[in-house]
Amino acid sequence: MRNIIIAGPCLAESYELLDNVCKKLLNTIDLNKFEYFFKASYKKANRTSLHSPMGVGDITALEWIKDISTKYKVKTLTDVHSVEEVKIASKYVDALQIPAFLSRQTELLLSAGETGKVINIKKAQFMAPDDIIKAAEKVKSTGNSNIFITERGTFFGYKDLVVDFRSLIFLKNYEYPVIYDCTHSVQKPSLTNISGGDRNYIEPLTFAAISTGIDGIFFETHTNPQLALSDSATQLPIDTIDIFLNKVTKFFDFRKSL
């Protein structure tokens, strides 16, 4: 069984960004070892500040993502925030992602499940591991078992996230592939008018997560993170991806050999 990689820019800022990032990732990821989903949010509905960019327009961004899928023959994933968005976005992508802050929303989970697509549920920062299993069961009740669960850290209200690696071990007791979110896990939410973070912790925390036996990783990457319209402090520079993924591949191979 191949491990899973979900990766791409945080926000669909431009077609050029999506194209450059997807091309680089496909040239770097060993598709014999990994099942790959190109990720880009067509809209950022949960921003720290009222003045933070939300997107270029829903249909425009979704059409860009769809075009990337066709051009590179790659599966795609994007976030959805409401039942209405599920109906629209599901026409353009292969997988739907339930954002962490919405992972208890029953109608959203059921609507997403009814599409039959892969549903990646982000574990909310306020959730215990067994709570996210309840969310997965809501999706499964629709007859859809194509469910991933992604760990992205726990938030204690002090503008920082902490990853409890026991959570990954607990989640492995269930039938759903477990994904570790390498970049959101090092965020510092609402640090000022934007969320901050420290990308220096991405590599060691990713390797720690792989050591628990997870099924895949999620990360965001950008051609110029400093100029990114969202998550500029935590997106990986695209020119570092070769080295990062080479190490990731070795860690996954080593874990499988144990």
Domain ranges of the chain: 3-257
Q: Report pLDDT for 52.
A: 67
Q: Report pLDDT for 189.
A: 77
Contacts of 35 (CB under 8 A, 6+ apart): 2, 3, 4, 5, 75, 216
Q: Report pLDDT for 55.
A: 83
Q: What is the pLDDT of residues 195-223, one digit of tens each?
A: 678 899 999 999 999 999 999 999 999 99
Q: Report pLDDT for 51.
A: 63
Q: Report pLDDT for 193.
A: 59
Q: Per residue of the chain (258 residues), what is the pLDDT tens digit?
A: 899 999 999 999 999 999 999 999 999 999 999 999 999 999 987 756 666 677 899 999 999 999 999 999 999 999 999 999 999 999 999 999 999 999 999 999 999 999 999 999 999 999 999 999 999 999 999 999 999 999 999 987 677 889 999 999 999 999 999 999 999 999 887 666 566 788 999 999 999 999 999 999 999 999 999 999 988 999 999 999 999 999 999 999 999 999
Q: Which fold has domain 3-257?
A: TIM Barrel (3.20.20)
